[in-house]
Amino acid sequence: MKKLQGAGLRGQSAGQTSLSTVEQEGSLRYLGYSIEDLAKNASFEEVAYLLLLGHLPKKQELEEFENELASLREMPDSLVTVLESIPAEAHPMEVVRTIISYMGVIEPELSFDDQLAVAKRLIGVTTTAIVYWYNFSHKGLKVDQESNERSVAGHFLKLLRQEEIPELDKRTLDVSLTLYAEHEFNASTFTARVCASTMSDIHSCVVAAIGSLRGPLHGGANEAAMEMIENWKTREEAKDNILKMLANKDKIMGFGHAVYSERDPRNAVIKEFSKELAEAYGDDNLYQVSEEVETVMWDEKKLFPNADFFHASAYFYMGIPTKLFTPIFVMSRVTGWTAHCMEQRANNRIIRPSADYTGPESSEWVNIEDRE
C-alpha cells in the first residue's frame, strides 16, 4: 500500500494516542474496538464512557453515567438569554462556538481535577443549547429543556421535533453520534491537543477545535452534500448533473478522504440506516439519488463516499435541518476532543514543531528614506 506523504503533514506522526486508530485500508477503532462492532452493539453513551474513562462500562456504571448526562442538560439562565439574542442568520458553528465559550465564562474549569466533570457537562448542555437556539431563532419556540428521553440522540430529536420519536430514528442518530465521536489526529482534534499542550482550559481547547471545524475543508461536507442532491428527483437527473460537475471540475463534497485509500468504514454503516429510514418513511428518492452519485463517482473517479455523504440523506429522513448537520458533529466529537485534551495533559510536552524556512537567506537593512 502506498505510504501517505505530502503537504499538510500527510503521513507524519505528530504524537501518540490510545484513543483511536485510523488505517488507510479502511479500519477505524476506538481503544481497540472496531467501529462496526461499536455501531452494532454500543450506545453513544457507552462510547462516550469508553473514550473518557478508558474502558467499557458495566451495567450500573452505564446507568449512572446516563443519569448524570441527563442531569446536566439544563442550561444556565444567562446562556438562554445569550442564545435568544443570536439571530437565525448566524452561522450555526459560530453559535456552537459561543455556547462553549460562554460555558467557560460562567462554569469555568477551575482545576484539572474538574476535567471529567467539565467534559460531561459539555456533552449534556451542548445538545440542549443547539436545539434551543434553532427552535427559538427559526420558529419562535421556547422549548422545554427537559425530555423523557434517556439518550443524547433521543433528547435531541425530541426537543427538535416536539413529538414522539420512532425507535429507528433514535437508533440512527445514536449510531451517527458513535461514528462521529472520534477520529485520531484530524485537524480539529490536533488543534485541541495543541491548545491543551499549553495547559489551557478545556473550554478554550474545544473552542479552538470548533474554529478548525468551521473551515469548509474539515467540517460541513454533509451540509454541502445535502445542498447538492436535495433538488434532484431521479437517478438519471443525479447522473447527468454529477457528470456535468465532473466535466466542469467542480468540487463534489462527501467523497474521498485524507487517510482512507479504499473505503471509509463509517459510510457502510450510515448508508444502511439511510436505506432503512427511506423504507420506513416510504420515500426512497433521496436515497436512490445518493446511491447513483456514489456509483458515478466510483465509475468515473474511483472515489468512495466518506462518512458525511449518506449522513445527508439519513439526517433528512429524520427531519433534521441542514443547518444543524455540523453542530450534531460537535455534539458527538466533543467526547473525542475532551478525551484527547485529558490524554495530552496526562503526558504533556508543549507541541511546538519546527518549520522549513523558505524566505531570503540574508537581508541587509535599508533606511526608510532609501527604500525603493
Annotated catalytic residues are: 218, 257, 308
Closest CA to 238 of 294, 298, 321, 303: 294
Strands 20-23 and 27-30: antiparallel
Amino acid letter for position 145: Q
Q: How many CB atoms lie within 10 A of CB 352?
A: 8
Q: How many CB atoms lie within 10 A of CB 231?
A: 9
* Coil, strand or helix at 104: helix
CA angle at 50 for the pair 311 and 169, rounded to the nearest 5°? 30
* Coil, strand or helix at 22: strand
Burial class of residue 166 in the structure, from the number of CB atoms within 10 Å of its CB (0-12 exposed, 13-18 middle, 19+ buried): middle
> What is the total residue count of the chain?
372
Give the three cell numbers for residue 124. Answer: 449534556
